[in-house]
């Protein structure tokens, strides 16, 4: 989380600072309309810059995962950028349109357009000739983009519709990039701000084209065929085993992939619930009924059905040298730990983790399925993991005090958490208050892709 916060604020600061250096009239504006022009230019540059970065992140690039801490963290940055874009672009639009409304109502006196000297530069003259078109299409693209971003933030908006409509943001971005290229003050292009903006626009336009052509993640997609299906009614989850075709690169326990069984629904992210080793060709997912799509899976999927898998993604891979790890799983958040325990059981005699590493797994659940819990207990036994099972109705909530009582050396461990965000936040606050370095040793899967 810390890295995405650093990048988020650094990008905003960089664009603002470069704009200040590029804008020669910043401190000489003497009337409202000159200030208005400055606000429109600064907010426009910031909005299109942030939107370009968000567009590139939409490609799900794997190379930045190491620095960000996983694609889940990159999606969180993508969401922050989307909210910021909506706020800044709305501010930009209000400053562009508000004075016109106020002038029409007689609230302010409209300013006369300044006399423009003849433009000698042919490029500037060409861009100036496009101003009317850029203003018109940019306004409508803003309305479309604002609506699409608001829908993306509405949790109750069905995922299958979100998947279809969210791609339209790439079209809106292409129109807004034309709007920005034409209406950005021409002198900016001859400054470091112009160079940065040009690079961002090139990257954003390229990303938008890739999204619209359906090529996102193309090189990381492999087809598989469903081998087995098993439903656990007590916890309303479906376990799906898939035999993969040639091309799957393998994965680490704790990683996730995007699986698509229905093109109209698009790909959904699922944590991989199985380990991987040489000679293996099967992976498993555990899908909990949390929405329209997952609630229908048990009726829609069938053995032998083809499924497209894209990945693997994520850095929730238990990679550290601590002699003691604490794992905390809330509900369906148990999935990455199941995969890790299967990996540890497989390599028990030749471990690829620190020798003698001790692991305490806390699994909290409000639902009970005896078969699923028996399999979990067997996985923990085979991996030599100490399982602490807490059923909400019987045992209550896991708190910091209960964690510390169960694991006396908690302060020297690393903690790996997958579960509800509110649960994680409460534990982190409690542990941080006791001196635990949560920013470095509390690893959390932010499994929310919108």
CATH code of 47's domain: 1.20.120
Domains identified in the chain, total number? 3
Segment among 160-164, 228-232, 304-308, 442-446 with least mean pLDDT: 160-164
Please count the residues of the chain.
Answer: 450
In sign, the C-alpha dihedral spanning 96, 173, 22, 87 is positive
Regarding whether 35 and 161 lie in a shared domain, the answer is: yes
Regarding whether 176 and 297 lie in a shared domain, the answer is: no
Which run of H or E residues covers position 48? helix 32-57
Which residues, in sequence order, are CB contacts of 169 under 8 Å at separation 6+? 55, 145, 148, 149
- DSSP SS3 for 313: strand
**Domain contains 449:** no
**Domain contains 65:** yes
φ/ψ of residue 316, rounded to 5: -85, 70
Kindly report, residue by residue over 57-105, the tens digit of the pLDDT. Answer: 999 999 999 888 899 999 999 999 999 999 999 999 999 998 888 777 7
CATH number at residue 386: 3.40.50.80
- Is this structure's pTM higher than 0.95? no
Regarding whether 275 and 368 lie in a shared domain, the answer is: no
In sign, the C-alpha dihedral spanning 160, 312, 335, 326 is negative
Q: Where are the beta strands (DSSP E) in 188-334?
A: 221-232, 237-244, 256-260, 268-271, 282-288, 306-313, 324-330
CA distance 412 to 199: 45
Kindly report, residue by residue over 222-280, the tens digit of the pLDDT. Answer: 999 999 999 999 999 999 999 998 889 999 999 999 999 988 888 999 999 999 987 78
pLDDT of res. 211: 96
Last residue of a domain, one of 313, 335, 370: 313
C-alpha 393 chain-centroid distance: 33
Regarding whether 290 and 190 lie in a shared domain, the answer is: no
Q: How confident is the model at residue 49 (pLDDT cuts 50, 70, 90)?
A: very high
pLDDT of res. 115: 61
Are 324 and 357 in contact by the 8 Å Cβ rule? The answer is yes
**Domain contains 11:** yes
Instruction: Give the per-residue SS3 of 52-90.
Output: HHHHHHCCCCCCCHHHHCCHHHHHHHHHHHHHHHHHHHH
**Domain contains 319:** no
Regarding whether 46 and 105 lie in a shared domain, the answer is: yes
Q: Please say if the pLDDT value at position 112 is more than 60.
A: no
Range of the domain at 72: 2-212
Which run of H or E residues covers position 442? strand 442-444
Q: Which candidate, 386, 340, 339, 345, places its Cα nearest to that of 363?
A: 386
Q: Which two tokens stand for residue 52?
A: 């370009």
Regarding whether 331 and 225 lie in a shared domain, the answer is: no
CA distance 260 to 258: 7
Which run of H or E residues covers position 416? strand 414-418
Q: How confident is the model at residue 113 (pLDDT cuts 50, 70, 90)?
A: low
Regarding whether 432 and 345 lie in a shared domain, the answer is: yes
**Domain contains 431:** yes
Regarding whether 230 and 161 lie in a shared domain, the answer is: no
Kindly report, residue by residue over 275-319, the tens digit of the pLDDT. Answer: 998 778 899 999 999 888 888 999 999 999 999 999 999 999 999
- Residues 147-170 have a mean pLDDT of 89
Tell me the DSSP string of 246-277: TT-----TT-EEEEES-TTT--EEEEB-S---
- DSSP SS3 for 176: helix
**Domain contains 139:** yes
Regarding whether 427 and 371 lie in a shared domain, the answer is: yes
Measured torsion, CA atoms of residues 434, 421, 67, 199, in degrees rounded to the nearest 10: -130
Last residue of a domain, one of 313, 344, 366: 313
Are 24 and 187 in contact by the 8 Å Cβ rule? The answer is yes
CATH number at residue 261: 2.40.30.10
Last residue of a domain, one of 263, 290, 313: 313
Q: What is the spatial order of strands in the sheet that 256-260 belongs to? A: 268-271, 256-260, 306-313, 221-232, 237-244, 282-288
**Domain contains 227:** yes
Kindly report, residue by residue over 3-32, the tens digit of the pLDDT. Answer: 899 999 999 999 999 999 999 888 877 788
Listed as own residue / partner, the contacts of 295-298 with beta carbons closer than 8 Å and 24 or more positions apart are 297/238, 297/240, 297/261, 298/229, 298/231, 298/238
Regarding whether 408 and 274 lie in a shared domain, the answer is: no
**Domain contains 318:** no
Are 272 and 239 in contact by the 8 Å Cβ rule? The answer is no
Strands 282-288 and 221-232: unpaired
CA distance 91 to 277: 53
- DSSP SS3 for 231: strand
Q: Please say if the pLDDT value at position 53 is more than 80.
A: yes
Are 419 and 330 in contact by the 8 Å Cβ rule? The answer is yes
**Mean pLDDT, all residues of the chain:** 92
Q: Which candidate, 420, 449, 445, 422, places its Cα nearest to that of 79?
A: 449
For the chain, give the percent of residues with pLDDT over 90. Answer: 78
Q: How confident is the model at residue 449 (pLDDT cuts 50, 70, 90)?
A: low
Regarding whether 170 and 31 lie in a shared domain, the answer is: yes
Regarding whether 272 and 332 lie in a shared domain, the answer is: no
Q: Can the peptide bond before residue 48 be classed as cis, meaning omega within 30 degrees of 0?
A: no
Q: Rounded to 5 degrees, what angle do the CA atoms 319, 320, 324 make?
A: 120
């Amino acid at each position: 989380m810390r890295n995405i916060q650093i990048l988020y604020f650094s990008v905003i600061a960089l664009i603002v600072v470069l704009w200040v250096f590029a804008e020669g009239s910043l401190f000489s504006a003497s009337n409202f309309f000159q200030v208005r022009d400055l606000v429109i230019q600064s907010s426009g540059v910031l909005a299109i810059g942030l939107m370009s970065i968000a567009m590139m992140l939409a490609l799900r690039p794997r190379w930045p995962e190491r620095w960000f801490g996983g694609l889940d963290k990159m999606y969180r940055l993508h969401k922050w950028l989307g909210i910021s874009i909506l706020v800044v672009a709305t501010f930009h639009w209000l400053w562009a349109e508000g004075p016109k409304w106020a002038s029409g109502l007689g609230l302010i006196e409209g300013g006369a357009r300044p006399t423009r000297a003849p433009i000698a530069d042919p490029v500037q003259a060409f861009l100036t000739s496009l101003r009317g078109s850029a203003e018109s299409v940019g306004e409508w693209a803003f309305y479309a983009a604002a609506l699409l971003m608001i829908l993306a933030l509405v949790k109750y908006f069905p995922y299958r519709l979100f998947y279809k409509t969210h791609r339209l943001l790439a079209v809106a971005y292409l129109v807004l990039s034309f709007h920005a290229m034409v209406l950005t003050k021409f002198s900016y292009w001859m400054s470091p701000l112009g160079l940065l903006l040009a690079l961002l626009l090139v990257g954003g336009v390229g990303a938008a084209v890739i999204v619209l052509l359906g090529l996102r993640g193309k090189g990381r997609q492999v087809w598989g065929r469903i081998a087995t299906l098993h439903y656990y009614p007590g916890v309303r989850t479906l376990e799906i085993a898939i035999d993969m075709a040639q091309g799957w690169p393998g994965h680490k326990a704790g990683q996730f992939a995007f699986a698509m069984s229905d093109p109209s629904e698009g790909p959904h992210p699922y944590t991989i619930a199985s380990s991987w080793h040489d000679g293996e060709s099967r992976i498993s997912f555990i899908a909990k009924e949390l929405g329209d799509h997952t609630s229908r899976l048990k009726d829609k999927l069938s053995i032998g059905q083809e499924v497209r898998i894209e990945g693997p993604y994520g850095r929730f891979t238990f990679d550290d040298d601590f002699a003691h790890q604490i794992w905390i799983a809330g509900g369906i958040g148990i999935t990455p730990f199941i995969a890790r325990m299967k990996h540890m059981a497989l390599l028990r005699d030749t471990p690829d983790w620190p020798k003698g590493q001790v692991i305490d797994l806390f699994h909290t659940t409000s639902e009970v399925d005896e078969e699923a819990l028996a399999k979990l207990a067997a996985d923990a036994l085979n991996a030599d993991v100490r399982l602490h099972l807490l059923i909400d109705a019987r045992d209550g909530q896991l708190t910091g005090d209960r964690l510390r009582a169960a694991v006396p050396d908690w302060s020297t461990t690393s903690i790996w958490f997958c579960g509800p965000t509110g649960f994680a936040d409460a534990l982190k606050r409690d542990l941080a208050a006791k001196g635990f370095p949560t920013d470095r040793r509390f690893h959390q899967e932010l499994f929310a892709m919108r």
